[in-house]
Structure 1
Amino acid sequence: MANKMLRFVDLEKSMPDKREADSRRQDFDEIYEDYMPAAAAEQAARCSQCGVPYCQVHCPLHNNIPDWLKLTAEGRVQEAYELSQQTNNFPEICGRICPQDRLCEGNCVIEKAGHGTVTIGSIEKYITDTAWEEGWVKPVRPLAEKPQSVGIIGAGPAGLAAAEELRRQGYKVEVYDRYDRIGGLMVYGIPSFKLEKDVVARRAKLIADAGVIYHTDCAVGETLAFEELREKHDAILVATGVYKARDMKAPGIGLDNIVPALDYLIASNRKGLGDAVQAFDDGSLNAAGKRVVVIGGGDTAMDCVRTAVRQGAEAVSCLYRRDRANMPGSQREVANAEDEGIDFQWLSAPEAFLGESEVSAVRALKVRLGAADATGRQTPQLVEGSQFTIKADLVIKALGFDPEDLPKMFDVPELQVTKWGTLKADFRTFETSLEGVFAAGDILRGASLVVWAVRDGRDAAEQIQKFLERKASRREVVAA
């Protein structure tokens, strides 16, 4: 048991053991081993317990990171878990997939001082995995049942976080999702080498054990009318995420074997879950033996290139129009991809796709970074005469995601959207243009991180509770 903190002065940063690249290229298992208890305690003891915890400030959930690091260092792991789960409905998931290098760890005081960050994400994963093993994780039990009900559209992180928080308050909660499994993109969008699917299923079952009812294979607007849900429930939360793939214009973009990233990842994840996937089995969404080119530089692009390697691709290249320092995704994920043999073509952009009926190559141009735009990022500028060609049998477009047309999909034209297609809502109450209809997660803020979806879900649940309490009060006044 550690008896003091601030051990960064005599103890170096040490991540859990990572499997060798040659080994992990062969399967979809998670790449990091588990911390042993002594190692987790030692690494937690490196925390400086600073007066202004920037790790906590830069965590979207404002997790009580210094406190549960101290408890872990002292061997009080159950107390550390109890504290960590107070602010996070999915600590073991965030510990695995959050880009800590951009959030908590990237803003750690001792990291800024040159000592190497505290390994916050890995310790968070250790705490919660230990809690599951020891049986400390229990479903929420409300103190009293309430008569009102909430319908939640979308079983991703925002919807599930809101469901658990509302159930904690005693509301009846039903979740509706278009897919056949609960978890949204945590199941179908994120590869198992980052997040094994039994981790998500275990958490989804816990929420069901708390009394939340799931309706799968339920596409609102198709198999179930949106207005029917409004009549059934006292409040609605829309947490559908954003699934519409961004496209690009270029000669040859319509050739066969040029596919959206999400189609490719869903096929791979379904296959890993044991489903029959025709598009995978016939080879169209399977990278085995192919020369693969992925276009994009975010975490989804990294998921695609690393998936292609594991499927046995002959070669995998990634085209990104900015340099490595300006990658929008996690630098840790980029480093893992480099270890696994991905060929990164920095400062490159596709000009055309070549082939007869199927793509056979990508013609690209080199790029230089010009003046910064309104966001502060340097604007990519094509370099004339710098064309080069990469052979390709499969091209994957990982260009980001936009919202689907929900007013049309739900057949509710009065549901207002922003100019970006996200749902328009009061930023304080999360309520949309329709009374009693709220929004949370990516459908509200645009494509973002799981941890931000959890934050939105929790905040929306709090506002829904206030709305339902006001609604109940009005009924009592009328009844009196």
Structure 2
Amino acid sequence: MAKQQMLRFVTLEKEMPEKRPPNLRSEDFNEIYAEYAEEKAADQAGRCSQCGVPYCQSHCPLHNNIPDWLMMTATGRLQEAYELSQATNTFPEICGRICPQDRLCEGNCVIEQAGHGTVTIGSVEKYITDTAWEKGWVKPITPVSERGESVAIIGAGPGGLAAADMLRRAGVQVTVYDRYDRAGGLMTYGIPGFKLEKPVVMRRIEQLEQGGVEFVLNCTVGEDITFDAIRGKHDAVLIATGVYKSRDLTAPNANATGLVKALDYLTASNRKSFGDDVPEFDSGDLDARGKRVVVIGGGDTAMDCVRTAVRQGAKSVRCLYRRDRENMPGSRRETQNAEEEGVEFVWLSAPSGFVTDDDGNLTGVRVQKMRLGQPDATGRRAPEVIEGADYTEESDLAIMALGFEPEDLPALWGVPELTVTRWGTIKAKFNTHETDLPGVWAVGDIVRGASLVVWAIRDGREAAESILTYLSAPARVAAE
């Protein structure tokens, strides 16, 4: 029966879930894709070739058992599909929405390479887990037995929450400290609702709370509590703070009113979606309505900003990127969605300064035209300035989406012995994620630099396993 339902890629074309028309989806912050119907999900899952070497699985950071849960979906065994998906991924419904599948699993699908169109893995993953929530298959964490050890997790983003989930399932007492008033990190305040609706994140956090994870919010380590105090209260500490420091641009008039940081802009928008009072938005400083918006950058954060500006009612939205379309780091799918919604991309362009009026308000961005030269150290062709080709792009609001850097945690937390790399990220062992401080681990972007949610989840799960090994070490148990 299973074989008859699979290998359908030769007769059945790839079909994504229905996407709302640009003129409608640009009016709100709801997700743009509809849900698969049960029959459609089964049909699309059945396109899987069940190949002997599943490149989709090997190119997934979590090594999700994709062929098996596709087969289960195709044959109507949805609860088993969910359980298999959840076994390797703490948040499959989130990864199904925001993972760049075009660069990971779907981009390496064997039938995609053969010209038949990839299996829509992300959409099926999202369907499986959304169905699991609807049917009540997602249960609160219920450890078989409680343990006396406690672990502190600093940072309530995907890496920290993934570790919290695994540690609680093992019966460990878990306390998560976070600087914000809601858990979730960038999943809550950085990623817009049209990619990840906030109730999807909040229900996972509620599940963790129901399972016994304690959240200490509005708590900035180094100010409200010291790092040493946290170490003294707990048997182990996991650092999962992420990277929130925006990269600055040194250019004339870089302090102009109307020049804002991407994370400030996105956080204000997401707070409004929660119904929060956001003075910076209400004043118009972080609201794009009626403005000529220029977003500087070519990554996924830049795509989030341009598409948010469209929904806020910007007069025009342009994205400057110093390389061309083929060399941009952001998702191709997100770029296409942005263009459908009216965003104009200005390729091979970089800011050289900003133009202001007499009061210091932004009126334009000075733009240098670029060309691609020889490959740089990363293998990508390096952009070079074309002399004499500068021009001014008129703008009332310019959003800097140039990436993020780590904060100086050893200085902020008063722990100079916490070793960092030359990039300022925390130095941690590969796989175990142990730092040079005894009983302290680190995961996610604070170790990797700005990366993907799926990598943070992997790190958090691996670190949880390492912490459990540490807590259960015979010498340590005997000492207690």
What's 1:106 paired with? 107
What's 1:368 paired with? 371
Whole-Å separation in 1 of the counterparts to 2:428 and 2:443: 9
> How many residues align structurally?
477
Letter of the aligned partner of 1:92 in structure 2? E
1:174-233 per-position Cα deviation (integer Å, ceiling 9, x unaligned): 101110001010000000000000000001111111111111111111111111111110
Whole-Å separation in 2 of the counterparts to 1:8 and 1:426: 42
Whole-Å separation in 2 of the counterparts to 1:73 and 1:59: 21
Shift of 1:142: 1.6
When normalised by structure 2's length, the TM-score is 0.98
When normalised by structure 1's length, the TM-score is 0.98
Shift of 1:388: 2.0
Shift of 1:475: 4.3
What's 2:16 paired with? 15
Shift of 1:248: 1.1
Letter of the aligned partner of 1:144 in structure 2? S
Say whether 1:316 aligns with 2:317.
yes
Say whether 1:437 aligns with 2:440.
yes
What's 2:130 paired with? 129
Structure 2 segments unaligned to the other structure (5+ residues): none
Contact 2:243 2:405 in 1 (8 A): yes
Letter of the aligned partner of 2:148 in structure 1? P
Shift of 1:466: 1.0
Shift of 1:135: 0.2
Shift of 1:428: 3.7
1:34-45 → structure 2 map (5 Å cutoff): 34-45=35-46
Whole-Å separation in 2 of the counterparts to 1:320 and 1:476: 55
Cα gap change, 1:478 to 1:264, in 2 (>3 Å): closer
Match of 1:381 among 384, 407, 412: 384
What's 1:341 paired with? 342
Letter of the aligned partner of 2:461 in structure 1? R
Whole-Å separation in 1 of the counterparts to 2:159 and 2:431: 16
What's 2:259 paired with? 258
Contact 2:244 2:406 in 1 (8 A): yes
1:219-230 → structure 2 map (5 Å cutoff): 219-230=220-231
1:79-90 → structure 2 map (5 Å cutoff): 79-90=80-91
Say whether 1:455 aligns with 2:464.
no
What's 2:292 paired with? 291
Whole-Å separation in 1 of the counterparts to 2:294 and 2:477: 62
What's 1:391 paired with? 394
- Higher deviation after alignment, 266-275 or 139-148: 139-148
Shift of 1:19: 0.2
1:70-81 → structure 2 map (5 Å cutoff): 70-81=71-82
Whole-Å separation in 1 of the counterparts to 2:442 and 2:468: 14
What's 1:359 paired with? 362
What's 2:409 paired with? 406
Shift of 1:352: 1.5
Whole-Å separation in 2 of the counterparts to 1:429 and 1:135: 34
Shift of 1:478: 4.5
1:355-378 per-position Cα deviation (integer Å, ceiling 9, x unaligned): 130110111121110111121100
Superposition CA RMSD, Å: 1.0
Corresponding residue SS for 1:162: helix
Whole-Å separation in 2 of the counterparts to 1:258 and 1:155: 29
Contact 2:471 2:477 in 1 (8 A): no
1:274-285 → structure 2 map (5 Å cutoff): 274-285=275-286
Whole-Å separation in 2 of the counterparts to 1:333 and 1:459: 30
What's 2:429 paired with? 426
Letter of the aligned partner of 1:80 in structure 2? A
Cα gap change, 1:476 to 1:328, in 2 (>3 Å): closer
Letter of the aligned partner of 1:314 in structure 2? K
Corresponding residue SS for 1:86: helix
Contact 2:431 2:463 in 1 (8 A): no
What's 1:474 paired with? 475
Whole-Å separation in 2 of the counterparts to 1:54 and 1:430: 26
Shift of 1:4: 2.4
What's 2:272 paired with? 271
Shift of 1:429: 2.3
1:168-207 → structure 2 map (5 Å cutoff): 168-207=169-208
Whole-Å separation in 2 of the counterparts to 1:200 and 1:136: 17
- Higher deviation after alignment, 47-56 or 365-374: 365-374
- Higher deviation after alignment, 209-218 or 80-89: 209-218
Letter of the aligned partner of 1:208 in structure 2? E
What's 2:418 paired with? 415
Contact 2:426 2:446 in 1 (8 A): yes
Shift of 1:408: 1.4
